[in-house]
Amino acid sequence: MYLPKREDTDDIKKLLSSLVSRSKAITALLISREGICISKAGNVETLNSTALAALVAGMFAATREVANIVGEEQFSILLQQGEKRHIHISLIGQRNMMIVVFEDYRKIGRVRHEARTIGPDLVRILEGREKSQKDDAEDISVPEFREFALNLIDRIFVVGKEEDASS
Amino acid sequence: MPHLDPTEKQIVFKIVYFGPGMSGKTTNLRYIHKVLTNKYKGEMLVLDTEKERTLFFDFFPVSLGTIQGYSLKFHLYTIPGQIFYEASRKILLVGAEGVVFVADSSADRLRDNTEMFMAMNENLRSQGIDPSSFPVVLQYNKRDCNPRLSIGEIERELGLENIPVTESIAIEGKGVMKTLQVISKEIISRFQIS
């Protein structure tokens, strides 16, 4: 199981916050290639980060396939330009992506620069925490977790008699 | 491997609804989204064509509750079933902890089901996953159609043993929650910290 250390996650948040602050972006998110939000900074209240992460991960993966078709291994940056808001997406290592949402398109150079600047630090933290995952997992009791989870499944994914479709 | 985040305090498992075109994958997800109360579900994303065929995927998150301080979540995805979306299917299996294989019970779709199942296994193998030890539930959907496949036909054709099987009429909601329950339990039962 992949379990990051709290201090690593705090460091990631600090890096994202510094990017948001220096580039005057609205928000920055770090997501996994599986589409899960790892960390976020800036104005995150108005964005559905769960949906955004799932969509961008799918989009990026699709773009990698496009890259292969045209003879590239992958495209490391994606830019989506809108009327008022724009999105800069960059690959962080092989397993993660950073999404920066910003409004002033004249700041694109700054966004790109800041993303490039913190990229290596993010990679270093993410690689480090993968190595230490076993030590970090000690605060979870797996048998207990399983038991509670199975109870929640029984309680919430309710199966009524009328739902039986056995032939 | 599930994703666990100590800052957000969440643990997330990804479930993918796989299967041939028009077998009822999106119908499963729509029903689940309809019956779950708001506190357990997030917004459903549907990326489809004008004819309501899945173009990329459908998705929504389910939050079951908190265990040992962590929010337990399932992310439910469908894949596009049409034959020419193979690249998308491969992408969507990345990071999955379990699959519901939604088979079409129509008697004339045995080959579509088995070919898609074999393609799924090939995709899993390409990610270094052994399909024989990966949580998969085989859902025979459209049990109201005639003539229909007998339970066991798909398993026999594919040489599958001990795969959990459910029956459903997803359009009426029958068997949908049962299937979700079975795959969730399969995933949780295998959950471990290595």
Task: Please state the rounded mean pLDDT for residues B125-131.
Answer: 94
Please give the distance of CA A151 from its chain centroid, rounded to a whole number.
29
- Round the average pLDDT of chain B to a whole number and report it: 91
Is the model more confident about B11 or about B183?
B183
Indicate whether A165 belongs to any domain.
no
Residue B188: band (very low, low, confident or very high) from pLDDT cuts 50, 70, 90? very high
Residues 38-77 of A with CB under 8 A from B: 38-39, 48, 50-51, 54-55, 58, 61-62, 65
Indicate whether A1 belongs to any domain.
no
Under CATH, domain B3-190 is a member of which superfamily? Answer: P-loop containing nucleotide triphosphate hydrolases (3.40.50.300)
Q: Which residues of A touch B5 (CB under 8 A)?
A: 4, 9, 36, 38-39
pTM: predicted TM-score of the whole model, two decimal places: 0.86
Indicate whether A94 belongs to any domain.
yes
How many whole angstroms separate alpha carbon A75 and alpha carbon A65?
10
Give pLDDT, residue A3: 47
Give pLDDT, residue B19: 96
Give pLDDT, residue A137: 54
Residue A94 at interface with chain B, using a CB cutoff of 8 Å: no
Q: Cα dist. A125→A24, A40, A120, A137 in Å? A: 24, 15, 9, 17
- Which tens digit of pLDDT belongs to each residue from B85-127? 777 788 889 889 999 999 999 999 999 999 999 999 999 999 9
Angle formed by the axes of helices A108-131 and A6-23, nearest 10°: 170
A36: domain CATH number? 3.30.450.30
pLDDT by residue for chain A (167 residues), tens only, comes to 444 555 667 899 999 999 999 999 999 999 988 888 889 999 988 888 888 998 898 888 888 888 888 999 888 899 999 999 999 999 999 889 999 999 999 999 999 999 999 999 999 998 887 665 545 555 678 899 999 999 999 999 988 765 677 76
Indicate whether A153 belongs to any domain.
yes
Task: Please give the residue range of the domain that contains residue A111.
Answer: 6-157
Q: Could you tell me which residues come within 8 angstroms of residue A16 by beta carbon, excluding any fewer than 6 positions away? A: A28, A29, A30, A39, A40, A41, A42, A98, A118
How many whole angstroms separate alpha carbon A8 and alpha carbon A35?
20
Residue A33 at interface with chain B, using a CB cutoff of 8 Å: yes
A89 C-beta neighbours (distance < 10 Å), count: 23
Indicate whether A162 belongs to any domain.
no
Question: What is the ipTM for the molecules in this complex?
Answer: 0.91
Residue B8: band (very low, low, confident or very high) from pLDDT cuts 50, 70, 90? low
Q: What does the block give as tokens for B176?
A: 């949908």
DSSP letters, A31-56, are: EETTS-EEEEEES-TTS-HHHHHHHH
Q: How many domains does chain A have?
A: 1
Of the listed ranges A137-151, B16-30, B128-142, the least confidently predicted one is A137-151
Is the model more confident about B57 or about B148?
B148
With tokens 């029958």, the residue in question is B174
Q: Number of helices (H) and strands (E), helices first, in chain B? A: 5, 8
With tokens 């003879």, the residue in question is A71
Indicate whether A29 belongs to any domain.
yes
Indicate whether A163 belongs to any domain.
no
With tokens 């999105």, the residue in question is A87
